[in-house]
A and B are shown apart, each in its own frame.
Chain A
Amino acid sequence: MFRRMHTIRNVWILLFAAALVASVANWVHPRKIPWVQDWSTHVEAKARKLGFEAIPLAVALEKHGASGTVFIDARPAAEFAAGHVAGAWSVPVQAFGEHFETVGGLIDSGAELVVYCSNRDCDDALELLVELRAIGAQKPLFFVDGFEAWKKYGGEVEP
């Protein structure tokens, strides 16, 4: 009985000590984060709310090159020209109307569409996903980490 009480007391001491150290550490951490953050404004949260499936780099790398998967780059044309996921199609969300035929063809082909933009903070891919779904794309995927992570972690790049 005494030993059990002793262990329970030590559990509380450990929990408290960790809380104390974590508080101080986050206060002085060079990459400290806010104690409370509004995650509802995060691009992934918006995508989730809209019912889009988000995939990370690991899954995007697996899907790349698989037959029946097409990557769509939602960034402006100039950024696409400077470098993009190998084999990706450029459909800048700002010029969606100009690419209507291309997109229609991709949707009709029945390919699995994977849409991306620059990084985890850009909205272009999400906006394009909304447009794609509006014209009939079935379950397009949102590659959340974007081109910057793709390039950094060795994904195949063109040109």
Chain B
Amino acid sequence: MTPDQKIYRVAYWIASFVVAATFLAGFQKLLYPADFALAVYRFHLLPGPLVNLVAIYLPWLEAAIAVCLLLVPKFREAALWLALALLALFTAGIVVNLVRGTGFGCGCFSHAPDAKPMDWMSVARNGALMALVVLALFGKKKSQ
């Protein structure tokens, strides 16, 4: 492995770790599904019958992505592509609601009613995370 490949490999690991840690930080969604379902409902983007199904599924998908990023190298690339797709969806949902005007939180990390409402910083945070995912994918490709 050349020094350049080593640097790309380290960038790939660090970026994967940060994305995984961020996804795991949303563990409250697993513990309080009713609160997360309410957060999903408040986006007003899904038909009613899909709200709970999405609220039940998404946190486990995030957890699966995080576990694969940290512990299952064979699935890491797939997890990165899924993370990118999820982050793009979340960001689009937040942008739509910011444009419409909302005072509610995104439900990303906290289920408490006093959680900070979503704002353009949430969009910037997701943008930074997407950049990290792209960096990880790029680093993986270059390190091989």
Contacts and interface: CB of A to CB of B under 8 A. Distances in A.
A149 to B, nearest CB: 5
B60 interface: yes
B45 interface: no
A51 to B, nearest CB: 13
A40 B64 contact: no
Contact of B33 (A13, A14, A32, A149): A32
Majority SS at the chain B contact face:
helix
Contacts of A7: 77-78, 81
Given A15-B61, A18-B64, A56-B117, A40 B48 contact: yes
Contacts of B78: 7-8, 10-11, 13-14
A136 to B, nearest CB: 23
B103 A22 contact: no
B103 A56 contact: yes
Contact of A19 (B41, B52, B57): B57
Contacts of B37: 33, 37
Contact of B56 (A22, A55, A58): A22
Given A7-B81, A31-B33, A33-B56, A22 B115 contact: no
A146 B38 CA distance: 15
Interface in B101-144: 103-105, 112-117
- Nearest first, the 5 closest Cβ-Cβ pairs linking A and B are A10-B78, A22-B60, A57-B113, A18-B61, A59-B103
25 contacts: A7-B81, A8-B78, A10-B77, A11-B78, A14-B78, A14-B79, A17-B64, A18-B57, A22-B56, A22-B61, A29-B33, A37-B51, A39-B48, A40-B48, A44-B41, A48-B44, A56-B103, A56-B113, A56-B115, A58-B103, A58-B105, A58-B116, A58-B117, A120-B38, A153-B112
Interface of B: 30-34, 37-38, 41-42, 44, 48-49, 51-53, 55-57, 59-61, 63-65, 68, 74-75, 77-79, 81-82, 103-105, 112-117
